[in-house]
Chain A
Amino acid sequence: MALSKDEVLAGLAEIVSEETDIDTAEVTLEKSFTDDLDIDSLSMMTIVTLAEEKFDVRIPDEKVKDLVTVGDAVDFIAAA
């Protein structure tokens, strides 16, 4: 059963918070992973790997560069 975008956002925020110590409330749809949340490429790949497992989805490596904002990731995961 597909998850709602709110459910994906909540789950993704937990992963980001675990990895970066950023408060889950700060992880909002319009935030850029690199510019706003200061997440480097290795941390991004870690978040992607953990998200794939948590949401049981496959995020191809070549797709990761398109996930600029938290909203991009939420949309991709919710639609997958």
Chain B
Amino acid sequence: MNVVVTGLGTTSPLGGDVASTWEAALAGRSGVRTLENDWAEKYGVPVTFAGQLVVQPSEVLSRPETKRMDPSAQMAIVAAREAWADAGFGEDGVDPDRLGSIVSSGIGGVWTMLTAWDTVRDRGAARVLPLTVPMLMPNSPTAYVSLEFKARAGSHSPVSACASGAEAIGMGFEMIQSGRADVVICGGTEAAIHPLPLSAFAAMQALSKRNDDPQGASRPYDVSRDGFVMGEGAGVLILESEEHAKARGARVYAHVLGVGMTADAHHIAAPEPNGAGQTKAMELSLERAGLTTADVAHVNAHATSTPVGDMIEARGIRALLGSHADQVLLSATKSMTGHLLGGAGALESVFTVKALETRQAPPTINVTEPDPELQVDLVRDTPRALPAGQIAAINNSFGFGGHNVALVFGA
């Protein structure tokens, strides 16, 4: 069964919706800026910047909504509403028994959990609000999406760290292919810019410490990259069986052609040094799509700007595509958005679909001196045109725990 993308939504460090986010991405703008708080002085948090939302959910949601949902769920709802409206379902909507939701978060309701702990410690257990559990549970975003749009075919939230959002989309594709649903609202969200996750990622030496140059800190493939930049936000795609989309005359952005998922089974945090699992995921995604490497015109890389990770992926892409890699435009959009963790694969799927639709590969910013080992055609600073005709694009996402997900879109 063919699966198509009929709706897109996001709220991101580049904008409060898809149009503004995509415009900023094509313009090569950075969504990273210095945090306005005292976490560094107060707690010694070594990183003082992040990719922060342009539009706060509280600006578009009602007061009760912002009180009842963790920020991660708020962002998911903002993105899901945009995607739903974009898909143009009429008044009849979608048969609830044929509608699914799969919205993931890598970390979950960390703000809710830690704020509630502050309450217990400082004011006693009796002051803990009754909605704390439904707010902090990691399935909260998908549950709220299911509630809002009456998605009764199933609501899921696969958790695989920074691959979560991509895994949600891969599972959405499979949910439709397996016949469980005609339409799935899927994506990822993350709201973890909090002193604890920042401190914990910094303790792993995973974060850039370029406090004096926030906008230049996320620099995938640059020789001076020193870690990823935390980002926040959500991306949501409406996936739909082609038959269902055609029957209602829906606008189709792209086809979801395949997904490849593997696990490294190597180390709890470090990627397997040869990238075998990552490459295998890409290979499987193309196999499932019935494509060859020659069909691939664009890759939205996972590329988080870490010294080790970026080149493992880049070597894998080269190994898989061979000399065809010279004709593939590689984009590392985390250079602009920072790393949305569980939201990353979803936002980057939005970018991948927009790239196919507009035939423009978004730029990678901050690369002043590319890693000499890089043997892929990296799109730098300004967008570059993708070829006309039928082309395919891969979106990679990898997560701590050894999760590898490659999604293939075509248009």
Evaluate contact between A21 and B126: CB separation under 8 angstroms: no
A-B interface contact total, Cβ < 8 Å: 27
Contact with A along B126-146 (1 / 0, CB 8 A): 111111001000000000000
A52 interface hit (Cβ, 8 Å): yes
Q: Return chain B residues, CB-CB under 8 Å to A43.
A: 131
Tell me the residues in window 97-130 of chain B with beta carbons closer than 8 Å to chain A beta carbons: 123, 126-130
Q: Name B63's contact: one of A21, A50, A53 (CB within 8 Å).
A: A21
B288 interface hit (Cβ, 8 Å): no
Interface size on B, residues (CB 8 A): 12
Bound-complex Cα distance A50 to B134 (A): 18
Report B359 CB to chain A, min CB distance, Å.
44
Q: Name A21's contact: one of B62, B128, B134 (CB within 8 Å).
A: B62
Evaluate contact between B67 and A49: CB separation under 8 angstroms: no
Bound-complex Cα distance A52 to B127 (A): 8
Contact with A along B56-77 (1 / 0, CB 8 A): 0000001110010000000000
Evaluate contact between A46 and B127: CB separation under 8 angstroms: no
Report B364 CB to chain A, min CB distance, Å.
43
Taking A19-B67, A49-B126, A52-B126 as contacts, is the C-beta distance between A42 and B131 under 8 angstroms?
yes
Bound-complex Cα distance A50 to B67 (A): 12
Evaluate contact between A42 and B126: CB separation under 8 angstroms: no
Q: Name B131's contact: one of A20, A46, A52 (CB within 8 Å).
A: A46
Tell me the residues in window 38-59 of chain A with beta carbons closer than 8 Å to chain B beta carbons: 42-43, 45-46, 49-50, 52-53
Report B4 CB to chain A, min CB distance, Å.
37
Q: Return chain B residues, CB-CB under 8 Å to A49.
A: 126-130
Q: Return chain B residues, CB-CB under 8 Å to A52.
A: 126-127
Bound-complex Cα distance A52 to B124 (A): 12
Q: Return chain A residues, CB-CB under 8 Å to B126.
A: 49, 52
Q: Return chain A residues, CB-CB under 8 Å to B129.
A: 46, 49-50
Which residue of chain A lies nearest to B62 when distances are taken between CB atoms in the complex?
A: A21
Would you list the 7 A-B pairs with minimal beta carbon distance, nearest first?
A45-B130, A42-B130, A21-B64, A46-B130, A21-B62, A46-B129, A20-B64
Hey, which bits of chain A sit against chain B, CB under 8 A? 18-21, 42-43, 45-46, 49-50, 52-53
27 contacts between A and B (CB under 8 A): A18-B63, A18-B64, A18-B67, A19-B64, A19-B67, A20-B64, A21-B62, A21-B63, A21-B64, A42-B130, A42-B131, A42-B134, A43-B131, A45-B130, A46-B129, A46-B130, A46-B131, A49-B126, A49-B127, A49-B128, A49-B129, A49-B130, A50-B129, A52-B126, A52-B127, A53-B123, A53-B127
Q: Assuming A18-B64, A21-B63, what are 19 further A-B pairs, CB within 8 angstroms?
A: A18-B63, A18-B67, A19-B64, A19-B67, A20-B64, A21-B62, A21-B64, A42-B131, A42-B134, A43-B131, A45-B130, A46-B130, A49-B127, A49-B128, A49-B130, A52-B126, A52-B127, A53-B123, A53-B127
